Amino acid sequence: MTLLRALAFNLYFLLLTIVMGILAFPIRLFAPGRALAYAKVWTGLTLRGLQRICGISIQVSGMEHLPPGPCLLACQHQSEFDTLVWMNLVPRPTYVMKRELERIPLVGPMLRLSGMIPVDRDGKAKALRALLAATDDAVTDRRQIIIFPEGTRTAPGAPISLQPGIAALSTHTGLPVIPVATDAGLYWKPGSLMKHPGTIHIVVGAPLPAGLRRAQLLPAIAQAWQNLCATHGLPVPALREPQKETSE
């Protein structure tokens, strides 16, 4: 039964994405400013289908820690679910996403119009400059910036290592960094078509201290995730390797 429900949801998601992508053409041409609101409809319908078809509900705690304006959300990344849910949790979300997603037919153009920030993960210095410039626009637009410091999906409880991009964003913008833990990978496994019924937990932590350098910020994020997971009964990640002190 779980397999059939997962297959039914995958078909629903595919058809929904095709239909919404086609219907988005007029918005792209005549009302590009409505792209974010339209994207929220798409993700909202997706999450509703996930609940009704697969029996996966969502429980969010700690939203009181979010400031009213722009911020950096340092989120654990365990499955594709993480790339959807924040569209409907904060008013003006902007995902820092891999550039390859822009190439998806129908979806890619809407991601660009919605204000998502593409990153060339192999571009290094040039990519970082482009990321910081795009982030400036997001801050001006008072966006909540969602970034996955792991840089890839990681199974619940598996060892993690964090990439330095979020430290560059924190230093550049001065925005508060909000750690976010989850157990989404227990129900929507990374890279899998299977969906298992249950309740996905999302836990928002208190802002990290301001002004942390990279050598301080990355361990602080990892420690915050570990604390949030331990406190709320989620799988606790371990660091793959110690964060080394570097001069800044």
Total number of domains in the chain:
1
Q: Which domain holds residue 206?
A: 2-232
Q: Is residue 243 in some structural domain?
A: no
Q: Is residue 157 in some structural domain?
A: yes
Indicate the pTM of the whole model: 0.91
Would the pLDDT of 208 be above 80? yes
Q: Is residue 208 in some structural domain?
A: yes
Q: Alpha-carbon distance 116 to 99, whole Å?
A: 10
Q: Is residue 167 in some structural domain?
A: yes
The CA-atom distances, in angstroms, between 26 and each of 34, 101, 104, 151 are 11, 21, 18, 34
Over residues 99-148, the pLDDT tens digits come to 888 888 778 888 888 889 988 766 677 778 888 999 999 999 999 999 99
Alpha helices in the chain (DSSP H): 2-23, 25-30, 35-54, 82-85, 107-113, 125-140, 165-173, 214-232
Q: Is residue 248 in some structural domain?
A: no
Q: Is residue 222 in some structural domain?
A: yes
Over residues 4-51, the pLDDT tens digits come to 999 999 999 999 999 999 999 899 888 888 999 999 999 999 999 999
For residue 148, the one-letter residue type is: F
Q: Which domain CATH number covers 6?
A: 3.40.1130.10
Over residues 46-101, the pLDDT tens digits come to 999 999 999 999 999 999 999 999 999 999 999 999 999 999 999 999 999 988 88
Q: Is residue 244 in some structural domain?
A: no
Q: Are 75 and 180 in contact (CB under 8 A)?
A: yes
Q: Are 96 and 146 in contact (CB under 8 A)?
A: yes
